[in-house]
Structure 1
Amino acid sequence: MLGAELPRNLATYAAECWPVTKKIESRLSVLETKMLRRTAGVTRLNRVRNDTIRQRIGVAPIADKLREARLRCYGHILRSNDDTVRKIGLNLEVPGKRSRGRPKQRWLDTLHLDL
């Protein structure tokens, strides 16, 4: 259903590059549920479960789609030549600690959780 996929594509644009934490994943799931409910014409007062709405519309959870996109991106990086910037950046180790306020979870950490 096109109406259900369009908001998801807007919300997850370039998401394969994000180091997604549980908090971000939860917020995206809430956003997706709100969009699906609006698309299906169902309110919270109808007391319809989120899984039922997702099944009725025929879309997978947004967390699964994010995981697929990250793994697809990782596959492209692994198949690229060794002298490309993305392959060099993947294997790059930066010495030292991250500065205060920076996220502790990196893209590779998220990817290892996906595998």
Structure 2
Amino acid sequence: MYGAETWALRREEELKLVRTEMRILRWIMGILLLERLENDEIIRKAGFVKIAKKIRESRLRWYGHHVLRMDDEEGVKRDWEKPIRGRRPRGRQRKRWRDKVKEDMERRGLVEDDDFDRTQWRRRRIRQPTP
């Protein structure tokens, strides 16, 4: 999960992480596939939060805490606000980090102005509680 705040995961990559997480959890807890326990039940028993939620959490936390509060002269902030020139290839477009952050914010019902109001940002539960 190191550096997960900068990942723009595709669905395929996210599914690989979920499968790997579940394989490791089953191995740690000694649960066989033949036992037919659902993934959500295993995660709940282990007391974890799904890896995809943790990645979204870290991406939003990094965006809200670092990117939005940076000085306008810093590279990341400049690149975030700079319009992207050129044409993207035909077909379905690859998701950029910016697209994933906006998608995560929509999922939580956040807007950029909420970041400067820390109580509002926290009220929207950026952090995923452990079960």
TM-score using structure 1 length: 0.80
Residue 27 of structure 1 deviates from its aligned partner by: 1.2
SS at match of 2:67: helix
Moved more, 86-95 or 72-81: 86-95
Runs of 4+ in 1 over 6 A off after TM superposition: none
Given candidates 50, 68, 83, the residue that maps to 1:93 is 83
Q: Which of 35, 56, 61 is the matching residue for 1:46?
A: 35
Q: For 1:43 and 1:37, locate their aligned partners in 2 and report how far apart those are by CA, in whole Å.
A: 7
Higher helix share: 1
> Which of residues 68, 76, 101 is equivalent to 1:78?
68
Tell me, in whole angstroms, the C-alpha distance in 2 between the residues paired with 1:55 and 1:64: 14
1:20 and 2:25 are equivalent in the alignment: no
Deviates more, 1:65-74 or 1:103-112: 103-112
Sequence identity percentage: 37
> How many residue pairs are counted as aligned between the two chains?
102
RMSD: 1.6
* Cα deviation, residue 107, structure 1: 0.5
Long gaps (5+) in structure 2: 106-131
Where do 5+ consecutive residues of structure 1 fail to align? Answer: 1-11
Deviation at 1:97, TM superposition (A): 2.2
TM-score by length of 2: 0.71
